[in-house]
Chain A
Amino acid sequence: MAPKAATGRTSRNPDLIRGVGKFSRSKMYHKRGLWAIKAKNGGVFPKHDPKPAAAETPAKPPKFYPADDVKKPLANKRKHKPTKLRASITPGTVLILLAGRFMGKRVVFLKQLTSGLLLVTGPFKVNGVPLRRVNQSYVIATSTKVDISGVDLGKFDDQYFEKEAEKKKKKGEGEFFEAEKEEKKVLPDDKKDDQKTVDAQLIKSIEAVLDLKTYLSARFSLKSGMKPHELVF
């Protein structure tokens, strides 16, 4: 068979029905120009010599033969589609967090990370919510937007939020008790600075709107008579 073209080429033989092509074998022979390829090659279809097989290293006999035949699970080649962001959530939208430590806090949306989570910040000075990842499902999007154009978000991705790999500790009885006391995690200074730079720009745009700062520092709660399905957020 002729080698496939590098660019995805569709078949020259359209289907009339599934399994039945429009053109016969002889027609296809002509369409594919096999006569021209043969003519170029002196009446014979060109053959490529098989590539010299790479010198095989003598396979070592395995160290271990398992006692029972274990079946290998089928390979799963499914790929995740990127998480769809709700149309109501755009950079700069004020979101209401619905779960977790900051339940009820109104927070500014910055961008969606590759994992699908939303990057969000209080700003920290306003309501105590740091740069944080939040799931779209646990969020209500309001229609209030903050101007976010001056903020540089290039360095924030899922890697930034990964837990730092713990150093292996030797297990000695005396050391064990001492090590436990020093467990407190302190946020590294560069992360604190990141928070400050992001928030500096945001706070300027927030203070430009009347009452927006007090709005963001207050928590949302359902009061008597509020019907969530009737509320416009």
Chain B
Amino acid sequence: MEQQAQLKDGRVALVNYGKDYGKLVVIVDVLDQNRALINAPDMVRSQMNFKRLSLIDIKIDINRVPRKKSLIEAMEKADVKNKWENSSWGKKLIVQKRRAALNDFDRFKLMLAKIKKGGLIRQELAKLKKENAA
């Protein structure tokens, strides 16, 4: 079995509930059995219950509770943003966000594109069927 993301200082997590839903944060300290101290470049350092976090497969190299500046440096060094956006989980979330922000017109164009794609696939399939039958 693959090793699960270990909970340690420096583990990157995704907030899955609450005001900061969808943000990537770094666990900079563990407060007690249920809570962690988290920090991110665009938020104030705060505590959060583990139930609100989903651990991600990325970790950065920091000491316990680093200053904001060194946190940002460490995140840049580990290239958290790019690793996240290239991971399959990260890609899925990006697509979800894109779909949710579609305009009515965009949804219409999407529908036309799907129909067209389906049509092309069916054409190819028909060709292959014909070849096979012959």
Contact = CB atoms under 8 A, between A and B. Distances in A.
Interface of A: 94, 96, 106, 142-144, 211-212, 214-215, 218, 220, 230-233
A116 to B, nearest CB: 25
B112 A233 contact: no
Interface stretch (B14-22, B59-67, B95-103): B95-103
A232 B108 contact: no
Given A106-B104, A233-B103, 20 more contacts: A94-B105, A96-B104, A142-B103, A142-B104, A143-B103, A143-B104, A144-B104, A144-B105, A211-B105, A211-B108, A211-B109, A212-B105, A214-B108, A214-B112, A215-B109, A218-B108, A220-B104, A230-B100, A232-B101, A232-B104
Contact of B104 (A211, A214, A230, A233): A233
Contacts of B101: 232
Give the interface size class of chain B. Answer: under 10
Contacts of A212: 105
A214 B101 CA distance: 22
Most buried by B among A214, A218, A232: A232
Contacts of A231: 104
Interface of B: 100-105, 108-109, 112
Nearest to A226: B107
Contacts of A143: 103-104
Contacts of B100: 230, 232
B33 to A, nearest CB: 36
A211 B111 CA distance: 11
Nearest to B102: A232
B103 A144 contact: yes
Most buried by A among B100, B105, B109, B112: B105
B107 to A, nearest CB: 8
Nearest to A140: B104
Contacts of A142: 103-105
A25 to B, nearest CB: 62
A211 B103 contact: no
B110 to A, nearest CB: 11
A144 B101 CA distance: 13
Contacts of B109: 211, 215
Nearest to A94: B105
